[in-house]
Amino acid sequence: MSTPEHITLIGFSGTGKTEVAKRLAALLGWEAIDSDDLIEQRSGGRTPAEVIAEEGEFRFRAIEAVILSELASRQRLVVACGGGAPVNETSRRSMVEAGLAVWLDAHFEETEARDGNDSKGRERPLRSPRIFDQRAALYRTTADYTVLTDTLTPEDVAKVILAWYRLVGEGAYNRPGRIEQLLRVPSVMPAALDTPHATAIIRTASGDYPAYVDWGGLERLGEYVKRATGARRAFVISDDNVLGIWGETALSSLREAGIDAASLALEPGDGSKSIENAGRAYDWLASLRAERRDAIVALGGGMVDDFAGFIAGTYMRGMPVVQAPTSLLAMVDASIGGKTAINHVGVKNIVGLFYQPRAVVADVATLKTLPRRALVEGLGEVIKHALIRDPELLELLEVRLDDLLALEPELTTQVIARNVQIKGEVVSEDERETGGVREILNYGHTLGHAFEAAGGYESLLHGEAVAAGMMAAAEIGRRVGVTPPELVERQRKLIERAGLPLRPPPGLDRERILAALSLDKKVVAGGQRWVLLEGVGRPVVRADVPSSVVEAVLDDLLSP
């Protein structure tokens, strides 16, 4: 197949797409078109910024998608498209099917300087380092070729693209699997224009949803719920403690957004995740004549997240749910991933389903009212995420742990946002825990769950059990030659500084721990699967760990 005579230039505003398109088209003897010019023509002379302000991002992207689709049928054409065009799937498909896509990359500071000299004087409403970084992942995925333009003139960039096009353009266009590869968006999408303040867009087979992490987010809950669900009524499920502190803020925000709101409070504690309370919630929804188009809002910690998600997934065969976590553990773990469940016949989370929320709204300010032990508990999952996925996050925790424990707003928001992204990335790749990458989230959970069960779910909080379980996994990894001793020590120091346990509490019965371990969900064909660390960000799953090693490590942990 010959190479189409069609090149689309993508990149952030200020990378010179319009000028490069003109020069490249002149070198090729083709025509150059700026898609923003066509948008202005079809919008009565209004700029893209004016269209967004007056009609919203959805309408703007629809106009842009139609224009790019029409241009895709034309040959001998260089198209300079808007910086956010690849966010729209229809636009992205038009680009990569029409011909070759080239990303004009530049450092943010350089684009700032160039935009200040924009000859057309267009307003750039979406210009910030955060959006710049988020867009980069999408540009990288969509492009056949990338040119770093910082030190190059538009003429230089055009010549570089021309040389690449003539030398390898045909091979690049015809490479096997090209279309599928370029349309495979990042598992956690950068926030689109219609999701302001969103940390990420979580992508799953069941649907995509935004996660908002900010300080004071509950004051905007109504706006987020309306955008995510379109609901006119919302049913808030919470517990007595959280509803008493944050209920008025949440309910007022919903009502200010034009959403009628009612609330149901459970007793605090995991015991409220019961069949009896599920029946009570169903009766409550029925008495208020809840409809499938209404929304459920889960306002609380992990128990509320699990319970409200379960109710939403089962009542009327599914109602939209928005998770509004108020504990650190729920923000970084329970609210992301769609796991919902209730307890039954004394077994924790035995009845449940995977049911993804429409949005997650994590108001970091709610952590101010969290008891100290509950705050520290959440650090167990935060440290786990850093160990399995992010060396830079681990270093940040080591340097600024005291500031994090003091809930310094900017740092705490940054750390939680990164944890949401990590959990979202993993969940997006393996939504239903089918033995894929999501298994790495079980680091520390194998023995951690056994410690919880052996203590009757009373002696340890979940994050505390995970911390002790991570120390067990690290020592197992060291003894089988997987985990470096220096990493074991590094992990130990951080867990200890955080105020988390390094071992299970005294008095846990060894045989009960081993019995719980044998019933663990990670047992496959009779063999226990262990997540171990070869290094920071380098987890491996091993099914060949001798039981003698596990028992020896357990004995050491249980010894006085």
Active-site option among 462, 478, 522, 529? 462
Q: Among 370, 388, 403, where does a domain finish?
A: 370
Cα torsion 500, 502, 504, 505: sign? negative
Q: Are residues 160 and 214 in the same domain?
A: no
* Residue 390 · residue 422 · CB < 8 Å: yes
Q: What are phi and psi of 263, to 5 degrees?
A: -135, 150
Quote the domain boundaries for residue 173.
Answer: 6-186
Q: Quote the pLDDT of residue 194.
A: 43
Does the annotation mark 197 as catalytic?
no
Q: Is residue 482 part of a domain?
A: yes
Q: Is residue 545 part of a domain?
A: yes
Q: Which of 6, 339, 384, 389 is catalytic?
A: 339
Catalytic one among 219, 433, 439, 551? 433
528: domain CATH number is 1.20.1090.10
Question: Distance (Å, rounded) from C-alpha 288 to C-alpha 496?
Answer: 49
In a domain, 381, yes or no: no
Nearest by Cα to 328 from 456, 227, 145, 464: 464
Q: CA 258, 259, 262, 267 torsion: positive or negative?
A: negative
CATH of the domain at 37: 3.40.50.300
**97-127: pLDDT as tens digits:** 999 999 999 888 887 776 654 445 444 444 5
Candidate list 22, 220, 389, 423, residue with the active-site label: 423
Residue 72 backbone phi and psi in degrees, to 5: -65, -25
Q: Tell me, what CATH number does 325's domain have?
A: 3.40.50.1970
Return the percentage of the chain with pLDDT > 90, whole number. Answer: 66
Listed residues 348, 370, 392: the one ending a domain:
370
Q: Annotated catalytic, 423? A: yes
Catalytic residue among 6, 220, 438, 478: 438
Active site residue 273: no
186 vs 203: CA distance, rounded Å:
8
Q: Are residues 212 and 237 in the same domain?
A: yes
- Active site (annotated) includes residue 442: yes
Pair (123, 228) in one structural domain: no
277 has a pLDDT exceeding 60: yes
Catalytic, 339? Answer: yes
- Tell me whether residue 40 is one of the annotated catalytic residues: no
pLDDT band at 1 (very low <50, low <70, confident <90, very high): low
For range 446-450, the mean pLDDT: 94
294 and 341 in a single domain? The answer is yes
**Which of 166, 186, 206 lies at the terminal end of a domain, its last residue?**
186
| Greater model confidence, 348 or 522 | 348
Q: What pLDDT shows up at residue 57?
A: 66
Report how far residue 464's alpha carbon sits from residue 384's, in angstroms, rounded to the nearest whole number. 12
Task: Give domain status of residue 391, yes or no.
Answer: no
Residue 241 lies in a domain: yes
Given the residues 22, 23, 220, 449, the one annotated as active site: 449
Give the pairing type, strands 207-214 and 198-204. Answer: antiparallel
pLDDT digit string (tens) for 469-511?
A: 999 999 999 999 999 999 999 999 999 999 999 999 999 999 9
Same domain, 435 and 464: yes
Q: Domain check: are 108 and 158 in the same one?
A: yes
445 in active site: yes
Q: Do 160 and 224 share a domain, yes or no?
A: no
Residues 221 and 148 in one domain: no
Q: Are residues 363 and 434 in the same domain?
A: no
Is 117 marked active-site? no
**Catalytic entry in 317, 372, 458, 511:** 317
Residues 161 and 244 in one domain: no
Instruction: For residue 422, give the H/E element and its range.
Output: helix 409-429
Give the active site residue among 381, 425, 464, 475.
381
Q: Domain check: are 171 and 284 in the same one?
A: no
Q: Which of 442, 452, 475, 529 is catalytic?
A: 442
Segment 146-193, tens digit of pLDDT: 998 888 899 999 999 999 999 888 888 888 888 888 877 555 544 443
Same domain, 148 and 223: no
Q: Is the pLDDT of residue 514 over 90?
A: yes
Q: Which residues of 391-420 are buried (b: 16+ CB within 10 A; e: fewer)?
A: eebbebbeebbeebbebeeeebbbbbbbbb
State the pLDDT at residue 115. Answer: 65
Decide if 401 is inside a domain.
Answer: no
* Domains of the chain: total: 3
